[in-house]
Amino acid sequence: MVEKPGVRLDRYVAEKYPELSRTQAQKLVADGYITVNDHVAKAGLKLHVGDRVNITLPPPPPSPLSPEAIPLNIIYEDNDLLVIDKPAGLAIHPAPGHPSHTLVNAILSYLPNLPDIDD
């Protein structure tokens, strides 16, 4: 609930949720993910005391994982277990700054029939 009148919606969201920048808040509003009193609103809307601001975050974009033939130092392997001596500096999984050339990419290449986590 809004407690201070006259604040712009995008500024209110950016202040209430510091992990979001004002630009991100504006995009969420423009894309319809933020409503005021159950109505889609514009970023420049001036809020009133008692307004209800609802935020629905969009789902994260899918992260395509692709196999990469990266040499692995396999210590032990059986049908249920794979023990690897991971080299220092090799990222475990794709992330910002390390979109590829990770341990996950190497394992996907080494075990191409590895089932999905949902299986």
pLDDT digits (tens, 9 = 90+) for 50-95: 999 999 988 877 767 899 999 999 999 999 999 999 999 999 998 8
What are the extents of the domains in the chain?
A: 9-55, 60-113
C-alpha closest to that of 1 among 23, 10, 58, 12: 12
Angle at 94 between CA 90 and CA 96, to 5 degrees: 105
Does this model's pTM top 0.75?
no
Evaluate the CA torsion angle 10, 11, 17, 21 in order and state its sign. positive
Q: What is the tens place of the pLDDT at every residue in 31-48?
A: 999 999 999 999 889 999
What is d(CA 52, CA 89) in angstroms, rounded to the nearest whole number? 47
- What's the CATH class of domain 9-55? alpha beta
